[in-house]
Structure 1
């Protein structure tokens, strides 16, 4: 058999549910009451409107720290009720997990392929065609490949688009 006892004074108080009533008028304005007390719009605002709904809820729920029961009474006589739960408290920057040190990304490893005999400045295709490069003013072409691009390939072909020069190189 279980005995009922009065909880000690140190235990937290049960959650309170606030009630917000929104009476929508035919002109789109609305009257707001929170826990039975009228809640007028802020100074300089002539009346609450439907677009003010989030602002009213944030105020009534203390920025969603307290659950709220919302009743909306439309001008046509229809109404609906919604329960909006409180959100768990968000951690502050000091409470959040310690920041991890960002690791420097590793410098990219590239495969260099060079060839000669190209017309200075010409466009040189690099086959497996994953990129193009230009020949230097001395007629030399240089392609830098990411090893991931050359996966499974054992060679590269450089093709001069003007000169027709073809240079083949084996990949390491």
Structure 2
């Protein structure tokens, strides 16, 4: 209840981008004399594909927060018995910068583009289909002419691995 307007409810979190849980997952990191890390998540061992060192700490903690998609409490205990506590929030998705889009060729009912990796899966936006590039890196798909007429110049082909972007029609 607001003190200004008794009828309007008070909402502190109107502008928050994410909600912090009441109980956050706990990441505990023990650093030994040689700089190797032992990491646990909520008192369970956190598996890693290899030995972790002090240089891996930021990446590992960021990965845990991103995987859980919520803030985590991190407690780091050094070999000399000193400790450090922090809250790590999941990072915002990174925007990947790609080269400017190139023009794709199109004819009635067909859109084609090249420059893709061999056998690469191609996303078609506004995602109406997925196509796999052939062995020479060319993607070709047939679309209903009515769809192409309704959206002229708006068919985009994007290689999921290569990041190659092709735009058909006049608008790019």
Fold shared per TM-score above 0.5: no
Query: Which is helix-richer, 1 or 2?
Result: 2
- Scaled to the shorter chain, the TM-score interval is 0.3 to 0.5
Larger radius of gyration: 1
Normalised TM-score (structure 1): 0.39
